[in-house]
Structures are given as C-alpha cells and as structure tokens.
Amino acid sequence: MSEPRTASLQRETSESSIELSLDLDGTGVADIQTSVPFYDHLLTAFAKHSLTDLRVRAKGDIEIDVHHTVEDIGIVLGKAIRQALGDKAGISRFGDALVPLDEALVQAVVDISGRPYLVHTGEPAGFEFHLIGGHFTGSMVRHVFEAITFNAGLTVHITVLGGRDPHHIAEAEFKAFARAFRQAKALDPLVSGIPSTKGAL
C-alpha cells in the first residue's frame, strides 16, 4: 500500500496565523475558516472538485486588507501540496479541465513539473478592481494562483474564455484548477516510477 499523501503545516507571521492540513487522496471534505468569506467559498470549491480533503484555520490583519491573509494561505497550501506529493512516483502528472459557471468559462492545465510557472490570462478589464462580496478584490485571484504554483512547484495555465459576473469568473477559475489538479495528482496504475525522462520532478 502506498504512503498516505498528507501534510499539516503552520505559519506564523506578524500579519497572519495559519494552520492547514490536507489529504490528496480524500473525498473533497472541506473545513475552511479563513476569516475571509469569499475565500472560504473558493477553497471549499477547490477541495470539493479536486477530491482533496482540506482543513484551514486562519486569522490575519483583515482590518487592514484581506491581502496578507489570502496570500499567506496560498503560500501554505502550495507548500502542503508539494510536501504531500512526495517524490511524485506513479502520478498522472498532467491534467486539464474546461469548466463553465453560467456565462463564465475557464480552461486550466496543470503539470506537476517541479518547475513553478503560471500563465494567467483572459480576465475581463476591470475584474482586478472589483470587490467580490464587498471584501475580496478580483486581483487576489491571480495572486493566490501565483502563491500556490510557486510553492507547490506546479506549471499552471489558466485561461478565462468568457464571463461577465466576477463571482462566476473567480469561482470557475478555482473549479477548473481543481479539476485539472485532480487529474494531475491522480495515481495511474500504468505509470511505473516517476513520470519524467529526467527521473525526477
């Protein structure tokens, strides 16, 4: 039987306090309390659609801005993903998804490559300035993906193909990323060892 692909991390700074645990081979159970309601919603969607059990407890200086707390959780989530993946033996490695949410449509492609790289395009003009739920700036969506990809060692391409409502666009981005990541992290019985000609990821 393979080793459990789990991780539990804590991060304390003057701006935030975070406890996060995950199981990459879960069923999508989410227990999220970030103190940022819309971010709770996005992370719950990520857990559900990636089949990753995820627990987050976070407090931060949201009276200043949600930025620090949101970014720091992305950093910890990325580090936890990297740790839980281990040596990446037997994984599918690549995943892709095309996900609609009403008028919004987003494509995500994930390569568990060990090389951090994010290509993020297509959000409509003005999206980055919109306050979703009155507290979550649209610009934070890309910032979260930057934090996750850099700290997890993922190559990720996210393309917003259409959309009008900022809530729908942001949620579709997280769902598309989740579905692509679900494929990439999946254990493939046909894969022997590490799926790379270099022998390491």
Q: What is the DSSP letter of 148?
A: H
Is residue 175, in this structure, part of any structural domain at all?
A: yes
Please state the rounded mean pLDDT for residues 46-68. 96
Provide the terminal-to-terminal Cα distance of the chain, rounded to the nearest Å: 22
Per-residue pLDDT at 46: 98
Is residue 93, in this structure, part of any structural domain at all?
A: yes
Residue of 81, 71, 79, 70 lying closest to 47 (CA atoms): 81
Is residue 194, in this structure, part of any structural domain at all?
A: no
Q: Which CATH number fits the domain that encloses residue 13?
A: 3.30.230.40
Q: Show Cβ contacts of residue 161 under 8 Å, excluding neighbours closer than 6 positions.
A: 105, 106, 107, 122
Is residue 38, in this structure, part of any structural domain at all?
A: yes
Going by pLDDT thresholds of 50, 70 and 90, the confidence category of residue 14 is very high
Number of domains in the chain: 1
Give yes or no for a contact between 31 and 56, defined as CB atoms under 8 angstroms apart.
yes
Q: What is the DSSP letter of 149?
A: H
Q: Give the phi and the psi of residue 31 in degrees, each rounded to 5.
A: -135, 90
CA-CA distance, 189 to 141, in Å (whole number)? 34
How many CB atoms are located within 10 Å of the residue 195 CB?
A: 17
Percent of the chain with pLDDT over 70: 100
Is residue 1, in this structure, part of any structural domain at all?
A: no
Is residue 104, in this structure, part of any structural domain at all?
A: yes
Q: List, as one string, the DSSP characters of 16-53.
A: EEEEEEEETTS---EEEE-S-HHHHHHHHHHHHHHT-E
Per-residue pLDDT at 2: 74
Is residue 170, in this structure, part of any structural domain at all?
A: yes
Is residue 88, in this structure, part of any structural domain at all?
A: yes
CA-CA distance, 71 to 146, in Å (whole number)? 9
Within 109-199, where are the H helices?
A: 139-152, 166-185
Going by pLDDT thresholds of 50, 70 and 90, the confidence category of residue 39 is very high
Please state the rounded mean pLDDT for residues 82-108. 98
Per-residue pLDDT at 72: 98
Give yes or no for a contact between 85 and 91, defined as CB atoms under 8 angstroms apart.
yes
Domain limits at 54?
6-185
Q: Give the phi and the psi of residue 17 in degrees, each rounded to 5.
A: -130, 120
Residue 1 has pLDDT above 60, yes or no: no
Q: Show Cβ contacts of residue 100 under 8 Å, excluding neighbours closer than 6 positions.
A: 106, 172
**SS3 state at 72:** helix
pTM for the model: 0.97
